[in-house]
Chain A
Amino acid sequence: MSLLAAVFALSTAAIAYEILLTRLFSIVLWHHFAFMIISLALLGIGASGTFLCFARRRLESRFALSFAGFAAGFGVLSVGSFALALRVPFNPLEVVWDLRQQLYLLQVYLLLAVPFFCTGTCIGLALSRFGTRIGAIYRSDLLGAGAGALLVVAALYRLAPQDCLRLVSGLGLVAAALGALHGAPRRWPAAALAVVALTLPFAWPDAWITPRPSPYKGLSLALNVPEARVVAERSGPLGWLAVVESPKVPFRHAPGLSLRARQEPPEQLGVFTDGGGLTAITRFRGDLGPLAYLDQQTAALPFHLLERPRTLVLGSGGGADVLLALLHGAQAVDAVEINPQLVELVRSDYGDFAGRLYEHEGVAVHVAEARSFVAGSGRDWDLIHVALLDSFSAAAAGVLSLSESTLYTVEALESYLDHVAPGGVLAITRWLKVPPRDSVKLFATAVLALERSGVEAPGDRLALIRSWNTATLVVKNGRLGPGEVAALRAFAEERGFDLAYYPGIGRDETNRYTRLAEPYLFEASAAILGPERHRFFDDYKFHVQPATDDSPYFFRFFKWRLLPEVLAMTGRSGVTLLEGGYLVLAATAIQAAALSAVIVLLPLWWLRPTAAARMREVRRGRLVVYFFALGLGFLFIEIAFIQRFVLFLGHPLFAIAVVLAAFLGFAGLGSGFSARFAERATGEAAAPGLGPLPPIALAVAGIILFAGAYLALLPSLFQELIPQPTPVKVIVSIALIAPLAFCMGMPFPLGLRRVSTQAPALVPWAWAVNGCASVLSVVLASLLATHFGFTFVVASAMGLYVLAAAAFWR
């Protein structure tokens, strides 16, 4: 019992650690680098299998000591390695120019791989030592992981991520204490470890483990300004918010402000999320005069086409767009912001500063995810305004290109347009890149959304203008009339903004004030509205085909075809045309594949003289295929469905926690259930009462049945149920996940059980294969979803499970 509890505790700690590291490195660096670092570090689990191939006998003979030792190693190093990794002077921004950075990166990988290596060794050792209890041990592992996902999100609401790290360390040491109890004659080692578990985590000095944003991130740069200081911090699972006051040199945050604007923005507080992504809280005293500068931004355009519109602001952040609506006398403003802590800052902590903006007459603030808020609202607005919330530098460097965003998909725009009143407008502002990317893709997305809604001439409803660094797209629910066209031309003319498209625009009206080499946006919009659309998508060197919910990567603009052209450019002048995020993902895939090959192949080469004969008996090839396919398939399905359920449940973090916990929990129960088959008859046993089919075939049939059915049915089911209250949606989600996950939990222990009876020396090797496949799976799922969509990812997983079953059958 203490063994299962120890596995559970360690697994809880390990997954919590993984999620925490992502959080912490998103603060120190950027999210895509966090993803790369942690993916590579997770290979430590695969490496533990390789290590066990060699050290299995020695460690198994002193199981309790070994388990406790490695678990304690995790307990100490989860914090220690992180503290050391923070000291490595790695600057990802210099990787292109500076070879030393690649060595620093390697140091970070190695440091962070050690704690995962420790947990991997413990669990791999338990699976290898107790072959008859594989189902139960794997159940504890999965249930622990599910619990860890819930625990860490809950903990992040209360504690700073570095303090959650202390919890994880303590939990690792508790697992060590429980492991030491297993079959040990003496109790004192366990008692001693328990004492350490309760003390050591609190002994780490704060300064060692507090993440500090890279000096190149917005927060660090803002704090270099004299007298600028952090006046408030909030930490939560959606990010770490830092409020900065800069009395001497004001923020003057006003993206895309007209060069003709004469007015300076009022005093502002800068709010940085994870040390980047600036949004400003603007001083408001009820007097609209000081807000006039807001009318000098491209985002103000829709207010010149509508009379006092009932407005919905999606992504209200610090409230600038709500102020813009008030400036134009909006009858009512609904502001949607996903981060409750940001809303609290504007509403209460800096409520006076912000002029009680969110309690202003006619203003209502909603803490919600934009898509599900709109879908579940059952209302319409005269203006739906999608605010510009990500930072320019993030957009410019392409760091968003690997993150999913369901805010800008075709389905999203369709849904927004469904909630725009007749004659009303949907307006979206994006940063302008040179050559243009976001705005081209956005225009194409709107055209497609209008076509899908049955609009025959989408070009009659669209207008696009730009400043030197922003572009605003307007989509009307109805045709843009001559009055509106005149208004938008006047708006642009007065502010020196360029017209890129409106119905009836002429080429000579474009590219006048802020000139690009060619009127790219005008040409792109003409091509997208014309018969040559697909040729244009193909010929444009950036990926500007609209994103869909199935492949929600709006920010990916990279095409592989671009790479040779960029590499052929002299020096490194072309790197600015590439998006960091996508390339980091590709680089992660390459590195992980190469390292996995080493980890998986090393034992074969090493163990040749001793274990070769036995290995041939169980057919190594089949073993690799089986565990590799399972490792890939499990996470393919999990990741693809998380994506679907997040859209349904709304709140991404909460949804991820619930869905992950449900998947892992029910898979754990499936694993426990699989032990029954193994107990009743060993080897190729058929399940009694279930006909002649072996249990693996039943499990795989179940996976294919449910995954296939969900692919077909979930979209329409979710559309029906999206207005339901959250508890109902959570219950529905869990009920849907349960049978699929239950089946997914069975193949791994069934296979491992067989290996354990036929060639126990290979159990660690199977563990290594599975560990490496799991890492590759996450990276590949993102890459495949980017190019082919999540449906393809799930279909591939179904194929992989069939492959696994075929490898197992014979």
Chain B
Amino acid sequence: MSRLHSLPVVAAALALFALGEAAAGGERAAQRDRMVRVIEAIAESVANGSVPRLLDADVLEAMRKVPRHALVPKDVRPYSYEDRPLPIGYGQTISQPYIVALMTHLLEVDAGDVVLEVGTGSGYQAAVLSELVRDVYTIEIVEPLADRASEDLRRLGYDNVTVRAGDGYYGWEEHAPFDGIVVTAAASYIPPPLIDQLRPGAKMVIPVGASFLVQHLMLVEKDAAGEVTTTLLLPVRFVPLRGGH
């Protein structure tokens, strides 16, 4: 067979491949839609005094856009859009989508904001934030994870996210103060420099718990006067005393 003859075959194959990709893309989008509907249903059912019933529409829209499957290791990709935490290697996990949505909601960020994340992990939280704010600075202590997330985020076009490998304790002084901070790195206490780098009126969210399980969220708020208050939020509708209050 001459080269000329093989051209249509190649073209057809390419067209099929493109179609397949598009179909897969459409499938993914449908999965994300479903995921967001699950998130909304969970929000509806767990809402309590401090956890909202309705999550911010922009946050949900961001969750609809970010290709979670492209940010997790291959072996867990089939579960990307299920509402469950996923292992991403190096003993790290990414939280279940509802928790990511809730944390992002709690930050109350705007389009012009600059946000710091400590604990990049897969880069998923950073990607979601990237859809909502001007700049995301994110620090990851595990170098291979930082490299992988940085590459994935660049490939997916999240140009407003900057990943740095290193110690998150001191925050990122050059870009401080921040309009929001997310700390997903486990620590026995909260680094004071991070609180310093929080702009008055801004919020910091920290999930607390063991691997795979976020027990509760810690919301640190700095008021206009620089006073810090903290709230421990349970992402479940639950009162410990029977009959409630």
- Asked whether A and B interact, the reply is yes
A interface, CB within 8 angstroms of B: 91, 93-94, 97-98, 214-217, 220-221, 224-226, 248-249, 252-257, 259-262, 264, 392-394, 396-397, 433-436, 468-469, 496, 513-518, 520, 523, 536, 538-542, 565, 569-577
- By size class, the interface of chain B is 35 or more
List 20 interface pairs A-B (beta carbons < 8 Å), by A numbering: A94-B212, A97-B79, A216-B211, A217-B91, A226-B165, A252-B169, A256-B188, A396-B215, A436-B240, A468-B190, A513-B230, A514-B231, A514-B232, A517-B234, A540-B242, A541-B240, A569-B45, A570-B44, A573-B46, A576-B215
B91 touches A434 (CB 8 A): no
B236 touches A577 (CB 8 A): yes
A260 to B229, CA, bound (A): 11
A517 to B212, CA, bound (A): 24
Is B28 on the interface with A (CB-CB < 8 A)? no
A569 touches B230 (CB 8 A): no
Question: Which label, helix, strand, loop or mixed, suits the secondary structure of the A interface?
Answer: loop
A393 touches B210 (CB 8 A): yes
Partner of A539, one of B41, B141, B169, B242: B242
Q: Nearest Cβ distance between residue B167 and chain A, in whole angstroms?
A: 4
Q: Nearest Cβ distance between residue A221 and chain B, in whole angstroms?
A: 5
Known: A468-B218, A540-B240. Is A570-B45 also a contact (CB below 8 A)? Answer: yes
B190 touches A259 (CB 8 A): yes
B interface, CB within 8 angstroms of A: 38, 41-42, 44-46, 48-50, 79, 82-85, 87, 89-91, 93, 96, 98, 141-143, 165, 167, 169, 186-192, 195, 208-216, 218, 220, 228-243, 245
B91 touches A573 (CB 8 A): no
Taking CB as reference atom, which chain B residue is nearest A440?
Answer: B240
Q: Nearest Cβ distance between residue A540 and chain B, in whole angstroms?
A: 6
A523 to B187, CA, bound (A): 29
Most chain B CB within 10 A, of A224, A469, A572, is at A224
Other 17 A-B pairs with CB < 8 A, given A257-B190, A259-B195, A515-B231 = A93-B212, A94-B87, A216-B212, A249-B167, A252-B189, A253-B188, A259-B190, A259-B220, A393-B210, A396-B209, A434-B216, A436-B240, A469-B188, A518-B239, A520-B240, A575-B213, A577-B236
Taking CB as reference atom, which chain B residue is nearest A498?
Answer: B230
Taking CB as reference atom, which chain B residue is nearest A512?
Answer: B229
A321 to B211, CA, bound (A): 28
Taking CB as reference atom, which chain A residue is nearest B99?
Answer: A573
B208 touches A469 (CB 8 A): yes
Report B-chain residues with C-beta under 8 Å of the C-beta of A394: 210
A433 touches B215 (CB 8 A): yes
B141 touches A224 (CB 8 A): yes
A445 to B225, CA, bound (A): 41
A256 touches B240 (CB 8 A): no
Q: Nearest Cβ distance between residue B220 and chain A, in whole angstroms?
A: 7
Report B-chain residues with C-beta under 8 Å of the C-beta of A248: 167
A396 touches B238 (CB 8 A): no
Taking CB as reference atom, which chain A residue is nearest B39?
Answer: A571
A260 to B189, CA, bound (A): 11
Report B-chain residues with C-beta under 8 Å of the C-beta of A513: 229-230
Q: Nearest Cβ distance between residue B31 and chain A, in whole angstroms?
A: 16
Which 7 A-B residue pairings sit nearest by Cβ, starting from the closest?
A: A215-B91, A257-B189, A570-B45, A435-B240, A393-B210, A216-B211, A397-B210
Report A-chain residues with C-beta under 8 Å of the C-beta of B228: 259-260, 496
Taking CB as reference atom, which chain B residue is nearest A280?
Answer: B188
Known: A259-B192, A539-B243. Is A249-B141 also a contact (CB below 8 A)? Answer: yes
Q: Nearest Cβ distance between residue B48 and chain A, in whole angstroms?
A: 7
A216 to B209, CA, bound (A): 12
Known: A215-B90, A515-B230, A569-B237. Is A252-B45 also a contact (CB below 8 A)? Answer: no
Known: A249-B169, A435-B234, A576-B236. Is A517-B189 also a contact (CB below 8 A)? Answer: no
A574 to B237, CA, bound (A): 9
A517 touches B242 (CB 8 A): no
B42 touches A573 (CB 8 A): yes
Q: Nearest Cβ distance between residue B47 and chain A, in whole angstroms?
A: 11
B215 touches A571 (CB 8 A): no
Report B-chain residues with C-beta under 8 Å of the C-beta of A468: 190, 218, 230, 232
Report A-chain residues with C-beta under 8 Å of the C-beta of B82: 97
B208 touches A572 (CB 8 A): no
B209 touches A576 (CB 8 A): yes
Known: A396-B210, A517-B48, A539-B242. Is A254-B231 also a contact (CB below 8 A)? Answer: no
